Amino acid sequence: MRGMAGPAIGAEGILTRECADQYGQGYPEEYEEHRGKGSFPAMITPAYQNAKKAHELASDIKYRQDFNKMKGTAHYHSLPAQDNLVLKRAQSVNKLVSEVEYKKDLESSRGHSINYCETPQFRNVSKISKFTSDNKYKENYQNHMRGRYEGVGMDRRTLHAMKVGNLASNVAYKADYKHDIVDYNYPATLTPSYQTAMKLVPLKDANYRQSIDKLKYSLVTDTPQIVQAKINAQQLSHVNYRADYEKNKLNYTLPQDVPQLVKAKTNAKLFSEVKYKEGWEKTKGKGFEMKLDAMSLLAAKASGELASNIKYKEEYEKTKGKAMGTADSRLLHSLQIAKMSSEVEYKKGFEESKTRFHLPMDEGSWVADRGESQLGTSQEGWTAGQREKLPAEGR
C-alpha cells in the first residue's frame, strides 16, 4: 500500500494540504510575536490566589508569627487594651472604686461657689412653677378676659351652681363664726358641763361629811319605817337584853340543897389543890415510920430494879468472855466446820512436834543409809579407831 493512493485519499490529502497552507504558517507567526512578551498575569488568576492562601495557611512561619510576637509577654497583655474586655472592665471598675476619681470633681470645685439660680434643680423648679403658678394660670384671664364681657343674666344652672358653691364653701361655713368670734355673750351657766357640775356639788365629800347641825331638816318620827326600826333596835339591843340581870345581879338567895350546887362543891373539893395537899401539909415536919415490907415500898423497889441499867446488864457482865453452852445443831455444825477449815487447828500438831524428832536406829532406811556410809568411809581409809567410836547398836 505504500506509495499508492486512491481517488479518496487524494481528495483528503488535498484538503489537508490546503489547511496546512492556511493555518500552518500563521500559527507559528502569532506565537513568535508574543514570545518573550508574556501573556495573562498568573498572580491574578483564581487558582494562583487559592494556592497562595493554602500555602499561607499551611506555612509554619505564618502559623507561629503571632506566637513569636506574644512570646515573652503575659497572656493578660496578649490583646491590646481596646480589644481586651477583661482589662477594659478592670479599668472601669478601678475608676469607679478609685478615691482619686471620686474626689476629682470635689478637688476641682473646691473654693468655687455655684450660683443657686444656675443649678439644674432651680431651673427645673422654675419651669414647674410656670406651669403650676396660679398667677401664670390666671394671667390671660386677668389681662384679656376680666371686665371685657357682658352679662346675659342668671340662668337656672348658674344659680344652682352658686347655691352649691355657697353650701360647700368653707368661707361661708365659717362666716357666722367669724362674725361672733368677738361678740360672744353665751352664758356659761346654760352649758351642759356646768349643769352637770352643779348637780354633782351636793355629792362632794365636804358636803357629805359635814355636821348634822349645819343641815336644815324637819324631824318626822311617826312614819312606819321609823317605828319598826325602833322596835328592832330595842329587841336587838344587848343593853336591854341584860338590863334585868344587871338590876338583880347582887340581889338573890340560893338554897344550899340544890343538886347543882352540891355537885359543884364536890367537884371543887376533888379538883382543889389545897385539899389535895392537906394531909401532906399536916404531917410535914413530923417523924414517920415506914415498914420495909410495905406494898408501896416493894413496888417502888421492883420498878427501880426493872428500870435500872445496872440490873439490866448484870447477867451480861457475868457471862462476858465466856462461851455459852447450847444444844443448837446448826451452831455445833458450824463450829465443827470452822475447826476443820481452820489453818491454826490444821498446823497445831505440827507446831507442837516441830522441834521433837525421834528416829529409831533399826529403821530400814536408816540401816541402809548407814551401810552405804560405811562403804564410803572404808574406801577413804578410815582407821579402826574411828570405827570403834561408832555406837554399839551400829555394829
Rg of the chain over CA atoms, in angstroms? 81
CA-based torsion, 370, 371, 374, 375: positive or negative: negative
Buried b / exposed e along 198-219 (16+ C-beta atoms within 10 A): eeeeeeeeeeeeeeeeeeeeee
Helix (H), strand (E) counts: the chain: 27, 0
CA 88/CA 394 separation, integer angstroms: 134
CA 69/CA 80 separation, integer angstroms: 13
CA 85/CA 130 separation, integer angstroms: 48
| In contact, 383 and 389? CB cutoff 8 Å | no
Contacts for 234 with CB less than 8 Å, ≥ 6 apart: 240
User: Measuring CA to CA, which residue among 346, 352, 394, 351 is closest to residue 374?
Assistant: 394
CA 287/CA 289 separation, integer angstroms: 7
| In contact, 240 and 234? CB cutoff 8 Å | yes
- pLDDT tens, residue order, the chain (395 aa): 444 444 444 556 666 666 556 555 555 666 666 665 555 566 678 888 888 888 888 877 777 787 777 766 555 555 566 667 888 888 888 888 888 888 887 777 777 777 778 888 888 888 888 888 777 778 888 887 776 665 667 788 888 988 888 887 777 777 777 666 665 566 778 888 888 988 888 888 887 787 777 777 777 888 889 999 999 999 999 888 898 888 888 877 777 888 888 899 888 888 888 888 888 888 887 776 777 788 888 888 888 888 888 878 888 888 877 766 656 788 888 888 888 888 887 888 788 877 776 666 666 777 787 777 777 665 555 454 554 555 544 44
Ramachandran class of 187: left when φ > 0, alpha when ψ lies in -120 to 50, beta otherwise: beta
Query: Which cell numbers in the block locate residue 258?
Result: 340544890
> pTM score > 0.95 for this model?
no
Q: How distant, in Å, are the alpha carbons of 191, 233, 245 from that of 236? A: 52, 5, 16
Instruction: Please report the DSSP string for 179-226 in residue order.
Output: HHTTS----GGGSHHHHHHHHHGGGSHHHHTS-GGGS-------SHHH
Domain positions in the chain are 76-111, 116-142
Contacts for 49 with CB less than 8 Å, ≥ 6 apart: 43
CA 299/CA 305 separation, integer angstroms: 10
CA 357/CA 366 separation, integer angstroms: 14
CA 336/CA 345 separation, integer angstroms: 11
